[in-house]
Structure 1
Amino acid sequence: MSVEEKVSKKIISCCPAIVLFFIGMVLLFVRNPDPILNPIVYAEDGVWAGLGLSNGWGYALVHAREDYFVFLNILLLFISTKLSSWIAGNPIVLLPESIALVSFGFFSAVATGAFLITRGFMPAAFRGGLYLLLLLLPLGMSQNEIVGRILQVGFYIPLISVMLLFWRDQAATYLRVLIDAVLFLCAATNPVIFAVVFLYLIWDFFKDFDLQASLKRNLALVIPFAILLAFLLPRVGGKGGIPGGFVSEGFVEAFIGRAIIYPFAFPWYETLSDKIVFGLFGLWVFLVGFSFWIAKSQAARKIMLFLAVTLALYDVATIAMRPGLTGLLSSYQITFPDRYFMGINVLVVFLTMVSLSQISISRNLGPRLLGVVALSAMVWIYGWNSSYFLETNGTKMAIKGQFDFRDQVCLSKSSMDKSSLFIQIYPDMPGWQMTVPNDVIDKSRCGYSGLKQAPVADGTYRMKPSQQLGADSPIKLFMGSYHQDAGVAIQRLWVMFGTHVRENPGVAELHLRRDDGSVFVQRFSLPDLVDNRYRYFDLDSHHYVLGEIVSITGGGVSTWESHDEHGDIKTCIVYEYSDGKRQFTPGCPLL
């Protein structure tokens, strides 16, 4: 065979993978178009991208987090800035859209890789089902902080590592070098991979019980991992951003219900209980064990073993490193924070589909029927309940407020030394800022006539909640005086409330005293308030001098306040005036 024929054959063999990759990206966009339709930069995506642009990407690799490395996140953000530069000539002009495309590409690549790596021991129908399930994994109410974002990709690393280790065991030497490099990247993103690779090395040793031969086979893996571990150990600590301690009453729900059962029972999750979860878990364990026992393919048995061990390890590590998760879940009524469980969920889905595929190709009619029925049930569950994960008509977790990223860039503030600019990103709270060099921002096309900008909430201001509303404790509104000084009337008032992460029953009233002594009153429902968000009140255009929130039948909420270094207090209020101008409270988030 000539060289040209070999190249042509390789190109043709890659075509299905390329097609699947782009189909996956399109499907992910259909699943969650919000990152493209409402272009914003969210949380660590902005902080870390700014760190790389300001201090260099090598610096960002080492200093993005204090407790562990996030190499893959930084690499994908670097690619996103380059994609924006390639399309628009600037690293941040199209950064939200670039991040979304890179995110879609990442999740699609994982699903495509699963489809390809199972070739040879899974029927095509089950491989296709696995591909779709990985793309359509239910993520509760918070998929908008996952699909189309980069900050959560580290939770998929254990699954990626399983596929790489499975491939490594049968790959040629030159491919092993590439696989080991990617495994190093995985370990430098999610520390759980150290334990996964350690167990793999033990398994590799047991193949021939020859320590010298095993070390020789894995030297390119052992040495880089040992060096990385030496740098990582002094940094490891903390609880992964989850407050609170271990709550025994929530253990079964967190460890089994949300982690393992949820991908198959998500439409009925709120009806589950610990007893039902134990029963379903027993059936699932029996299914996987029976499949492993009857499987004829050694490749299938090997990847099932890898998946099961990694799943158990990752599940234990998730609860051990973030014990507060057991207190956040609430008797099967909520699934948030979904991001901490999605990495376990994809391992469960992969293991389940491999198990069902082995049952379906059994020589006995009974197991074959069981496999077909189970696959059909999965198709029905996901097809009939597609509204749980297809948010085409609107996201369940709206992140964008009044401003998109382009607006926030125009509202950016200079640092004290004028060497960089601070961009307030989402979540629209103090501390979530993207710091970028001056030369990447061009404000020549920014036009915000009539907009009074709020200063960046830095060390000059501190946000604090007010006292909680009660029957005998109204909340005083500390209002600005611009409308009195300028002689204009307020026609709309936005007040930022805190619900303390709960639903507060009852009714309250907004009381505003006019300069003529009369009082404007507007009643509102406390359960309608959203935590850390503004709620607007339409007023009869007038001059107001005093304000307060008064309880009628309930309480428990607070307003957010901005305290400056001199002790002056202002309630976080956005004022809309009759002359078309708008004023923000210094030190408070924008709308």
Structure 2
Amino acid sequence: MLKRTQLFIGIFCISCLIFFIRNPDAFFNPVFYAEDGRSYVGPILSHGFFPALFEARADYLVLGNIVITGIAILINQLIFGSNVLNLPQIIAITSYSFLAFVAALPILLLHQKLRMRYLILLALAVSFFPLGGSDFEVIGRILNLGYAFVYLAFILIAYRNIRLEQGDTKQNIWIFLGLDICIWVCAATNPVVFMLQPIAYFPYLKKVWKKGSSWQSIFRDRTFLSLIGLSTVLCIQLFFMLASRNSYTGGLDSSWTPASLIEMVLARSILYPVIYPFYRYMNDVFTVLLLIAVVALFIKFANPKNYEMYWAGVYSLAIFSLLAVVFRPGLTSLLNGYSTTWPDRYYYGQNLLSIFLVVLLVQDIASCFLKRSMQLGVLTIAFVVLLSGANQASSYGNIERHAGNLRQIGTFEQNLMQAVARQSFINEEWQPAADGKFVFVPIYPTTPPWAMMLPRHIAEQSTQVEPVANIANPSALQNVSPLGNGGYQVTDKDPGIRYDLQLFQLNGTDADILGFDFACLGSSVAPQASAPTLEIYWGSKSFGGPDEQSVIRFVAPNGPVRIPLDTSARWHQAHHLRSLRIDVQNPEVCPAFSVKNAQLLKRTPER
């Protein structure tokens, strides 16, 4: 047991590192994405855990997402108090950790069905499960973790059945109660888990049909009563979910495209983990032939002792895929003859189940060979097949696949500081109000624009600053002419204004934020498009510059601007700051601009 626990911890840490490497942007570019901010963090901080739970979605609960968010908020409070500026990074770490936990959990629970080398293969394959261009929407986020809860529920139910097979029904009832509660959490996160309940009843039916046990003895079994209680709760929950579905119009509920059914159900949902490196070369004929080949391998090599596990996995995978077609038929219209896999996030739950079944079959195939070298050969082939696309496991740095790397409106800290500086206060109905108790904060994605609501007192406490240096008067102008009152007319390319910092004798650690009032003047472009991209360059004795290694870029709409310079390691490590320059990167949208009240600020957030 100690060895398994040590291996679990080791694989968990390795998996955490893998998920971090797959999408480090969630940590290094701290932003809130979609429901993470609007439906989870904002409501929990504004109204509390339970209101957020029941308001996150109108059609079903997302308990697991809310619990993970709550854990991240609790960790943030323990470390940073009421300061939420680091919360996006805490959420990223929590997301990496949850996915790693799901990947490593079979090492603890399924060691009686899979030998250790195959459990390691399973954990690594799950850590590298293919996501294409959707990785930045899953890894390091919380909003799309719900699909992993189906796989998690499958693992928990499989472990429950294994314990029943061992006759462990009397002395450890609390373990079964704990398992059933965890399964309920999974079902209260993803409704597909409701349909996995028959798997949990199979051991009891087996006792009656094959072993001749009476129903009276089954109903005296406390583990069975626990399962009945779980099913009762789920039936009640399912009733309310179905009753509320008519009041909710979700995405991807358009009519389905019959021509894409084979691709969606067989290729994209079931076979994808082994074909994704060459997916674009597939077609329906190859898909059907490959599935026949897999079935033939199962008939030839599957161990009868594992038939129940295969049945449970195939049933779970079939139900998951069928429900995806029924409730998200619009997914079929997004597929286009094996030329695209987007949106990948809707399929990775099925893919995790497929990976498990493949690894189980690999073990059975290897067991049919007596020579150890042959067994290792089968295992090696499985490693190559399942991990052959690992070099495609991350879209980080690929702007075409990574939605522009989420840089359009800056980090969460930038947007929160500017929201407070501009007094973007709202009431509970999201209406502007000078005395509003909440702050309207833009988040990602930006098309269409998303936003989150934060309590005003938390926002203000997190963004408290004190002035360090007043640098209001520029020391030099670059390709601009003064208009008076802080205004400047662009005269050539690369326009900007320069400030001399040498008199202040500052290091980067002495000032965290640059603040000023900005306005774009005389632009003929539509107001929404006229917000230019500004560039903040600086020079120091330690690093020289200004240069491209010492720059921060951001979109600057009119009004107060607050730029956290210390998010750049180069600023934070700079000694003897010499100069700071504000450039307009795209003067064609802003031929004249004004910069007033420039000053360097230091954070003084309350804990």
* Matching residue's letter, 1:409: L
Counterpart residue number, 1:443 = 463
Residues 522-571 of structure 1 deviation map (CA, whole Å, 9 limit, x = unaligned)? xxxxxxxxxxxxxxxxxxxx997756xxxxxxxxxxxxx7xxxxxxxx55
8 Å Cα contact 1:490/1:544 also seen in 2: no
How far does residue 165 in structure 1 lie from its aligned partner after superposition?
1.0
Q: Answer yes or no: is 1:227 the counterpart of 2:236.
A: yes
Counterpart residue number, 2:489 = 488
8 Å Cα contact 2:23/2:140 also seen in 1: yes
* SS of aligned partner of 1:69: coil
Against the structure 1 CA distance between its residues 403 and 175, is the aligned structure 2 distance closer, same or farther, given a 3 Å change threshold?
same
8 Å Cα contact 1:91/1:440 also seen in 2: yes
1:45 alignment partner, one of 36, 58, 61: 36
* Matching residue's letter, 1:110: V
Against the structure 1 CA distance between its residues 583 and 348, is the aligned structure 2 distance closer, same or farther, given a 3 Å change threshold?
closer
RMSD: 3.6
Gaps of 5+ in 2: 427-432, 473-482, 495-519, 538-553, 560-585, 587-607
Counterpart residue number, 1:386 = 390
* Matching residue's letter, 1:234: A
Residues 472-496 of structure 1 deviation map (CA, whole Å, 9 limit, x = unaligned)? xxxxxxxxxx99x967349799xxx
Against the structure 1 CA distance between its residues 377 and 88, is the aligned structure 2 distance closer, same or farther, given a 3 Å change threshold?
same
* Matching residue's letter, 1:488: Q
CA distance in 2, matches of 1:211, 1:118: 29
CA distance in 2, matches of 1:327, 1:444: 49
Query: Residues 515-526 of structure 1: matches in 2 within 5 Å?
Result: none
Residues 190-247 of structure 1 deviation map (CA, whole Å, 9 limit, x = unaligned)? 1111111145336633431555554554332333323323433322356742253101
How far does residue 582 in structure 1 lie from its aligned partner after superposition?
7.3
Residues 74-97 of structure 1 deviation map (CA, whole Å, 9 limit, x = unaligned)? 000000111111222236221111
Q: Answer yes or no: is 1:30 the counterpart of 2:21.
A: yes
Counterpart residue number, 1:433 = 451
Q: Answer yes or no: is 1:130 the counterpart of 2:122.
A: yes
2:381 alignment partner, one of 352, 377, 380: 377
2:531 alignment partner, one of 574, 583, 590: 574
* SS of aligned partner of 1:68: coil
* SS of aligned partner of 1:488: strand
Against the structure 1 CA distance between its residues 287 and 12, is the aligned structure 2 distance closer, same or farther, given a 3 Å change threshold?
closer
CA distance in 1, matches of 2:101, 2:535: 52
8 Å Cα contact 2:16/2:97 also seen in 1: yes
The alignment's TM-score, normalised by the length of structure 1, stands at 0.72
8 Å Cα contact 2:60/2:241 also seen in 1: yes
* Matching residue's letter, 1:29: F
How far does residue 141 in structure 1 lie from its aligned partner after superposition?
1.4
Task: State the number of aligned residues.
Answer: 474
8 Å Cα contact 1:259/1:345 also seen in 2: yes
1:115 alignment partner, one of 107, 111, 116: 107
Counterpart residue number, 2:98 = 106
Query: Residues 319-398 of structure 1: matches in 2 within 5 Å?
Result: 319-362=325-368, 369=374, 372-381=376-385, 384-390=388-394, 396-397=401-402, 398=405
CA distance in 2, matches of 1:229, 1:45: 25
Counterpart residue number, 1:555 = none
Against the structure 1 CA distance between its residues 383 and 359, is the aligned structure 2 distance closer, same or farther, given a 3 Å change threshold?
closer
Against the structure 1 CA distance between its residues 545 and 77, is the aligned structure 2 distance closer, same or farther, given a 3 Å change threshold?
closer
* Matching residue's letter, 1:388: Q
Counterpart residue number, 1:403 = 410
Against the structure 1 CA distance between its residues 76 and 446, is the aligned structure 2 distance closer, same or farther, given a 3 Å change threshold?
farther
8 Å Cα contact 1:115/1:130 also seen in 2: no
How far does residue 337 in structure 1 lie from its aligned partner after superposition?
0.5
* Matching residue's letter, 2:531: V
How far does residue 585 in structure 1 lie from its aligned partner after superposition?
7.7
8 Å Cα contact 1:488/1:579 also seen in 2: no
How far does residue 162 in structure 1 lie from its aligned partner after superposition?
1.3
* Matching residue's letter, 1:277: T
1:414 alignment partner, one of 418, 421, 425: 425
- % of aligned pairs identical? 25
Residues 333-363 of structure 1 deviation map (CA, whole Å, 9 limit, x = unaligned)? 1111101100000000000100110121125
How far does residue 132 in structure 1 lie from its aligned partner after superposition?
0.2
Structure 1, 439-448 or 168-177: larger mean CA deviation: 439-448
CA distance in 2, matches of 1:354, 1:242: 33
Counterpart residue number, 1:149 = 141
8 Å Cα contact 2:96/2:139 also seen in 1: yes
How far does residue 404 in structure 1 lie from its aligned partner after superposition?
1.0
Query: Residues 500-519 of structure 1: matches in 2 within 5 Å?
Result: none
How far does residue 444 in structure 1 lie from its aligned partner after superposition?
2.1
Counterpart residue number, 2:86 = 94
Counterpart residue number, 2:441 = 423
Residues 414-446 of structure 1 deviation map (CA, whole Å, 9 limit, x = unaligned)? 112421111111112455211111121232239
The alignment's TM-score, normalised by the length of structure 2, stands at 0.71
Structure 1, 281-290 or 129-138: larger mean CA deviation: 281-290
